Structure 1
Amino acid sequence: MNAVLLHYAGYIRYFSKVNGQVNAEVEDYVKQRLIDCQFKFRLDEPPDKS
């Protein structure tokens, strides 16, 4: 999980800027959403072939 956050850290920081300054609340929100999405991703099952 930490590897994913480190990989996207620059993107998150760049897109968390409001009026040229990093908004910590927005940055934390995006990080939390990314963490939440990782728990939904299943690695132990093959993808559906629908």
Structure 2
Amino acid sequence: MIFETEDQAELRARLRSLREARVDEATIRIDTLCGRLVQPTTYRLSRFVADS
């Protein structure tokens, strides 16, 4: 996991910085954890790492 936030704008900014750094977008995974009534929605940004 690279990053976790409850702020969607913060997530977009982090994705933009990864694109500017020319990170291969095929290795990026975005998970949205729905909070429902008790917890807020959380966004997780992960990067796949090849098994070496």
Q: Same fold (TM over 0.5)?
A: no
Q: Identify the structure with bigger relative contact order (alpha carbons < 8 Å, sequence gap 6+).
A: 2
More helix by share: 1
More strand by share: 2
| TM-score normalised by length of structure 1 | 0.32
| TM-score normalised by length of structure 2 | 0.31
